Amino acid sequence: MKNLILSTDSYKITHPFQYPENMTYMHDYIESRGGLYGYVKFFGLQYYLMEYLTKKITNEMIDEAKEICELHGLPFFEEGWRYIVEKLDGKLPLRIRTVPEGSVVKNHNVLVTVESTDKNVPWIVGWVETLLLKVWYPITVATFSYKAKQIIKYFLEETSDNVEPELKFKLHDFGYRGVSSEESAGIGGMAHLTNFYGTDTLNALVFARKYYNEKIAAYSVPASEHSTMTSWTQKYEKEAYENMLDKFPKGIVSIVLDSYNFFNAVENIIGKDLRKKISERDGMVTIRPDSGDAITNILFALESLEKNFGYTVNSKGYKVINKVRVLQGDGINEDTIWDIYKSLKDNKYSAENVTLGCGGSLLQGNESSSINRDTHKFAMKCSCIKIGNEVRDVYKNPVTDKGKVSKKGRLDLIKNENGEFETVNISDLPENQYHEDSVMECVFENGKILKTYTFEEVRGNEGLLYKPALIREVSK
């Protein structure tokens, strides 16, 4: 078992010695202090609660932590940790309240509050920051994916008669090989699936089953990669594609076409040599360009497919190609998503003709996307303590950076009379009482999870608290 005591920053080991001696209560909160979009989609804390905070502290953990910390050069507060084991049965004396998982919340509002529940070890709130603040990762992935969803939805509403069915599968997760660990794949992959139903990150399905009670969170289709195509060699490129059609005679199948000459593959092999087989096949064939300029390749493919397979015009006046779709899985980020679907609209093609796949920029971040703690400026700060019977509002106000000014007091989140989010100070209320209009729920207390969400509930909470507008210049 992981040693929970050591799941923190080194300097936090010494913090019990640094707080006021008579401190009996501590309150921290987590917020986005700003960022890309003005909002975040809250998701993923349930994983950290279930995987880590429900585990009991043991004497064996204390013994190991004491040895390591003292060798590391740090005084270890053994007395406090022994108290948790001996008096509290090893259960962490914390109360954690959150906004509902899956909800979208404006920046600069409290998302999570963490309070101590035992006057003898209130410093435990500060200790848990390192672990809990990692919720920035699933939130940041979910928020990027949600933003992509809003862009795609806009263009589907403009150009398609099948908005909701198409939207579910319009951004596919190709990010498994690009993440730093198996845990990242599970957490980040799940976060993406709060918005979409397509993934090739199998570990996301495992995590959704284990931590959110979802039997199957997403789907995939048979698809080729370059090795399965080039193993036939260029001489038998047509046979490689034909083999895909023969081995998977029904349903959607995806074929990568850029191993050699993408334009020849689209125009001649798909559009001529295999046209009859594709037209008669029971299911859609998706072709995938994987290199070069995305818009050039997509528009060339659609023009060729339109000529060779025909099309229908939907009620909104946009063309829908028969039997074949295009999957763009290279170079996808927020800007290219917009540019691709804008180019389709400008050329009178429905957005349903093109599906996207996203790899590194979705789960890990790359040169064109930001997936890190500072993307939305996440922080967990202390805002209230109690010395004896005196409640003290605590905050920081650095003159060198007003962006880091923190909030004061015991905090709660409400929707005010104008329907706007408002973080409110509730320091005048007893420690176990909250605002009567609070939108937060107690999810964890004293080692036990009090509230869990299913994946279905998470998906349903998307518009629960806030529905942001699509912030872009739109030329119709």
Tokens of 170: 């319009």
* Alpha-carbon span 241 to 229, nearest angstrom: 8
* 373 annotated as ligand-binding: yes
Residue 5 CB-half CA count within 13 A: 24
Under a CB-based contact definition with an 8 Å cutoff, are residues 260 and 237 in contact? yes
Identity of residue 100: P
Which phi-psi region, left, alpha or beta, contains residue 89 (left: φ > 0; alpha: ψ -120 to 50)?
Answer: left
User: CB of 31 within 8 A of CB of 407?
Assistant: yes
Q: Determine if residue 275 is labeled as part of a ligand binding site.
A: no
Contact, 353 vs 302, CB < 8 A?
A: yes
Residue 288 marked as a ligand binder: yes
Q: Would you say 330 is a known binding-site residue? A: yes
Residues near 440 by beta carbon (within 8 Å), at least 6 away in sequence: 97, 98, 99, 110, 113, 412, 413, 434
| 282 is an annotated ligand-binding site residue | no
CB 196 within 8 A of CB 168: yes
Cβ-contact 357, 329 below 8 angstroms: yes
Alpha helices in 72-113 (DSSP H): 78-88
Does residue 161 have a known ligand-binding role? Answer: no
User: One-letter amino acid identity for 309?
Assistant: F
Tell me if 393 is assigned to a ligand binding site: no
- 8 Å CB contact between 184 and 196: no
Cα–Cα distance between 416 and 325 in angstroms, integer? Answer: 47
Helices (runs of H) and strands (runs of E) counted in the chain: 17, 18
360 is in an annotated binding site: yes
Residues annotated within a binding site for beta-nicotinamide D-ribonucleotide: 200, 288-290, 329-330, 360, 373
Residues annotated within a binding site for diphosphate: 177, 226, 288
Residues annotated within a binding site: 177, 200, 226, 288-290, 329-330, 360, 373
